[in-house]
Structure 1
Amino acid sequence: MDDVAWGPLPGVPGVVVRRAVSADLPALVALLADDPLGALRESADGGLEPYRRAFALVDADPAHLLVVALAGAEAVGTLQLSFLPGLSRRGALRAQVEGVRVRADRRGDGLGEALLRWALAEARRRDCAVVQLTTDQARPDAHRFYERLGFVASHRGYKLGLDS
């Protein structure tokens, strides 16, 4: 993945995007927890070990790309982009967007849109036929955001937690 377009995030002066590294984990967890739903699911209070294990798996797999948007040395946004091969759509490659977060004080300044547009460009560069994502039903602002970028609520998603 060395040919990924790292560097300045188009449309957001002073912000760069790059592959996340393990040293970014505390900031990434803070971004994940920085909203009402994330605050219920994410916490480093018990330590970062579960996040370190997950990061190692994501980072080692070329089908997954975890990125961080930086303003100077500060993490201000993140997302994970995964590339899923499949038989449907004539064997099309899909890009799955996960964990989109923008730091609270940067929301509304175009950073989220620029980060998503970067992900869309990367998916096109890899010849993906479709980009898909899910967002919690309790996030109406996110729904409007994705729809404004051209995403369509075309499917109904289901989840089943496997926690004991």
Structure 2
Amino acid sequence: MVTFRIATANDLDQIVQMLADDELGKTRERYETPLPESYVKAFEAISSDQNNELVVACLGEEIVGVQQITFTPYLTHQGSWRATIEGVRTASSVRGRGIGSQLIGWAIDRAKARGCHLVQLTTDKKREDAHRFYERLGFQATHEGMKLKL
């Protein structure tokens, strides 16, 4: 059975390893020992912010998935909150076993519990399998996202 919990600093190595374990991740992440300090600083910022949660999925003691959920207040939609899901990964050893669906389901339930009216996410245009996955879970491509790399 998959369980979910807030990530701890001891999980950081396994999390970065999952983030680096795909075609896009291996070009933008740096999984090495020791981890670059930038990951430690980012983890500290996330874990100290009450509106951010870094969540891991576990099978027993093994971490098999990760996602970050950010809760943001908005003036639009009558001053409501929304949740943004980022950095969703499952360990390559368990892909295709429903872990990703359970991760997203957990995030949706968490967003409801926090009073959010909307859950949003972005996924790279190159990740066609991810697009189909999110569509199967009920997400719709209603907006065109834009980014500016700095």
Q: TM-score, normalised by structure 1?
A: 0.88
- Match of 2:4, as an amino acid? V
Q: Say whether the 8 Å CA contact 1:26–1:48 is kept in structure 2.
A: no
Shift of 1:75: 1.2
Gaps of 5+ in 2: none
Aligned residues: 149
- Match of 1:117, as an amino acid? G
Partner of 1:10: none
Alpha-carbon distance in structure 2 between the residues aligned to 1:61 and 1:75? 22
Partner of 1:84: 72
Q: Say whether the 8 Å CA contact 1:81–1:96 is kept in structure 2.
A: yes
Partner of 1:38: 25
Q: Per-residue displacement from partner, 1:32-65 (whole Å, max 9, x unpaired)?
A: 0111001101113373311000000000000000
Partner of 1:63: 51
Task: Give the RMSD, CA atoms, in angstroms.
Answer: 1.0
Decide which of 96, 99, 106 is 1:108's aligned counterpart.
96
Q: Per-residue displacement from partner, 1:82-111 (whole Å, max 9, x unpaired)?
A: 100010111110000000000112111111
Query: SS state of the match for residue 56, structure 2?
Result: strand
Percent of aligned pairs with the same amino acid: 48
- Match of 1:90, as an amino acid? Q
Q: TM-score, normalised by structure 2?
A: 0.96
Q: Say whether the 8 Å CA contact 2:122–2:145 is kept in structure 1.
A: yes
Partner of 2:5: 18
Taking a change above 3 Å as real, the CA distance of residues 159 and 88 of structure 1, as seen in their structure-2 partners, is same
Alpha-carbon distance in structure 2 between the residues aligned to 1:70 and 1:85? 30
- Match of 2:68, as an amino acid? Q
Alpha-carbon distance in structure 2 between the residues aligned to 1:88 and 1:51? 33
Query: Does 1:161 pair with 2:149?
Result: yes
Misfit runs of 4+, over 3 Å: none
Decide which of 132, 137, 150 is 1:149's aligned counterpart.
137
Alpha-carbon distance in structure 1 between the residues aligned to 2:58 and 2:49? 23
Gaps of 5+ in 1: 1-12
